[in-house]
Amino acid sequence: MTMTETYLAEIPMGAPDAILGIAENFKKCTDPKKVNVCVGAYRDENGKPWILPSVREAEKIMLDDPNENKEYASISGDAAYVNEAIKFAYGQNADLDKLAAVQTLSGTGACRIGGHFLAKYAPVKKIYIPDPTWGNHIQIFEEAGLEVIRYRYYDRSTNGLNLDGMLEDIKAAPNGAILLLHACAHNPTGCDPTQEQWKVVSDLCKEKNLIVFFDSAYQGFASGDAEADAFALRMFVEQGHNVLLAQSFAKNFGLYGERCGTLSVLTSGAEEKERVLSQLKRIIRYVQDLGK
């Protein structure tokens, strides 16, 4: 046996992804009455993929634009796209001079780059994530170099938010730690704090000087109003928190395969923004190379 064969022979079989594994089994199933309730995606009455008319129209505009080309994007991505994406989240009047933002491979890439950035520069390398949360959060942040700790979030006995447990666990976190919050339409429970509860969480985060990392994959899904669903993020920004935002447009715009996302870091101003952006670009270059 050669050295190469020995090396490959020792690689164990990885566990299948819990969600995508079920989706694969769904494809193999031949029952005509099967229903896919696994991966959230727009479907027509026959279970076939459905593309939003607005997306179809945007694609036509792009195809007819003589200035569209296939050149490499910059390391930070398409600037026009990034600016519109962050205004969608932070508001049309957002101060772009304070937002160091980059294009990412959907929310997964945003979490990975943000986790790597925090593992390098956050004063406390601990990230507190809700229990339960999106399954990928744990491995993404662990691989990035952060210690992942769960905080109580959902009360299964009441099918509601466990606010007291959540606050107690956040209070026990060290000052300066990282707190992951779902901006809206919490995955997988769909249970979000009320606006008054968000304010209580915000006050505690401010008291603990926590770094607040929002993950926003469903803006517009929680209430049907994208502006209303941005409440928590915008309130935390107004309250002066240290904020990061991972954005995905896979679900709310049905752009699953395009892997459209952004990561943004709220800074104190233009000079700090450029320093942060320079480090995000360095991370992108060796963690997620947009040029490949």
Q: Does domain 79-287 correspond to CATH entry 3.40.50.800?
A: no
Better-predicted residue by pLDDT, 91 or 19: 91
Better-predicted residue by pLDDT, 146 or 36: 146
Give yes or no for residue 115 having a pLDDT over 90: yes
Look up 50 and say whether it is catalytic.
no
- State the CB neighbour count (10 A cutoff) for residue 111: 26
* Least confident range of 98-102, 219-223, 255-259: 255-259
> What's residue 3's pLDDT?
56
Amino acid (one-letter) located at 279: Q
Closest CA to 135 of 111, 155, 156: 111
Structure tokens at 9: 């022979």
CA distances for 256 relative to 12, 48, 81, 163, angstroms: 30, 14, 17, 33
Closest CA to 218 of 236, 257, 192, 244: 192
Look up 198 and say whether it is catalytic.
no
Amino acid (one-letter) located at 278: S
pTM given for the model = 0.88
> What's residue 35's pLDDT?
75
> What's residue 210's pLDDT?
98
- Contact at 8 Å (CB) between 210 and 178? yes
For the chain, percent of residues with pLDDT exceeding 90: 69
**In a 3-state reduction of DSSP, which class is residue 64?**
helix
Give the separation between CA 258 and CA 21, rounded to whole angstroms. Answer: 21
Beta bridge partners of 148: 127
Q: Which of 134, 169, 229, 273 is catalytic?
A: 134
Give the containing element (helix H, strand E) for 155: strand 154-155
> What's residue 286's pLDDT?
77
Look up 251 and say whether it is catalytic.
yes
Tens of pLDDT along 200-234? 999 999 999 999 999 999 999 999 999 999 999 99
Across the chain, what does the average pLDDT equal?
90
Model confidence at 15, pLDDT cuts 50, 70, 90, reads: confident
Tens of pLDDT along 123-153? 999 999 999 999 899 999 999 999 999 999 9
Give yes or no for residue 292 having a pLDDT over 50: no
Closest CA to 261 of 72, 88, 110: 110
> What's residue 247's pLDDT?
97
Amino acid (one-letter) located at 146: L
> What's residue 288's pLDDT?
54
Give yes or no for residue 262 having a pLDDT over 50: yes
* Least confident range of 2-6, 70-74, 174-178, 288-292: 288-292
List of residues 6+ apart from 280 with CB closer than 8 A? 76, 100, 102, 113, 117, 263, 265
Give the containing element (helix H, strand E) for 115: helix 106-121
> What's residue 211's pLDDT?
98
Q: Which of 169, 192, 229, 251 is catalytic?
A: 251
Better-predicted residue by pLDDT, 50 or 244: 244
Give the separation between CA 158 and CA 87, rounded to whole angstroms. Answer: 36
Q: For the chain, which residues make up each domain, given as ranges?
A: 79-287
Tens of pLDDT along 47-92? 788 888 999 998 899 888 888 788 888 889 899 999 999 999 999 9
Structure tokens at 13: 């079989």
> What's residue 4's pLDDT?
54
Structure tokens at 89: 């989240």
Q: Which of 169, 192, 215, 229 is catalytic?
A: 215
